[in-house]
Chain A
């Protein structure tokens, strides 16, 4: 019996929990690449999404002692975009957003939208989005 492959559905969410450990950034990249590919992004956009996810993970890992030892990535599939939310629970409420650094500047250039949660929030959230052309 032939069944056609099940298509991905608007608002499907894929969630990934990772330890704060540089060894797993490639896992996040591979997951991002796989999801973006399945959604039909072109090769250049897939590379942009991969790099942006990688930089966001690196940003959290570099905060290290300011956050708990795990962080979460949600990939939210939409009909016209891929939304990505990284969340980490804070330990300290330092002024960690004073300097965004090269990684955040790269995400700004690679994605259509990025926002960082305010320093008063209990969690650190990095939200970014790429439109499906």
Chain B
């Protein structure tokens, strides 16, 4: 799988707290999408993804996140990403996806 995925539902805040560790690329990006879809099927809630342990994400991983975001937007939810490493923050910035997701914390220049 090459990435670890930990999740917990915070019912009081109606949000999924998720932590992703490792690398996401064409090898496993569809698995990430499936896992996030599964959570939304269990409970329609905002996604708060802690990316502190995320080492790398490629264009297919970004595509998976965008697909999930479309689903989340259907019930007026959102995807929040936090603790992005500088290389990951740069990928979001050059693709302009930092304007599409809620990025928490500083975007490194």
A residues adjacent to B (C-beta < 8 A)? 22-23, 25-26, 29, 44, 47-48, 50-51, 54-55, 57-58, 61-62, 101-103, 105-106, 109-110
B residues adjacent to A (C-beta < 8 A)? 2, 23, 25-27, 56, 58-60, 62-63, 86-87, 90-91, 94-95
B residues in contact with A110, CB < 8 Å = 94
- Shortest B107–chain A CB gap in Å is 14
A47 near B87 (CB under 8 angstroms)? yes
B95 near A55 (CB under 8 angstroms)? no
**Majority SS of interface residues in chain A?**
helix
> A120–B27 Cα gap in the complex (Å)?
30
A58 near B60 (CB under 8 angstroms)? yes
11 residue pairs of the A-B complex, CB under 8 angstroms, read: A47-B86, A47-B90, A51-B56, A51-B87, A51-B91, A55-B59, A58-B25, A58-B59, A103-B58, A106-B94, A110-B94
- Shortest A63–chain B CB gap in Å is 12
20 additional A-B residue pairs with CB within 8 Å, beyond A51-B87, A102-B95: A22-B25, A22-B27, A25-B27, A26-B2, A26-B25, A29-B25, A29-B56, A44-B87, A48-B90, A51-B56, A51-B58, A54-B56, A54-B58, A58-B25, A58-B58, A102-B62, A102-B63, A103-B59, A106-B95, A110-B94
A residues in contact with B63, CB < 8 Å = 102
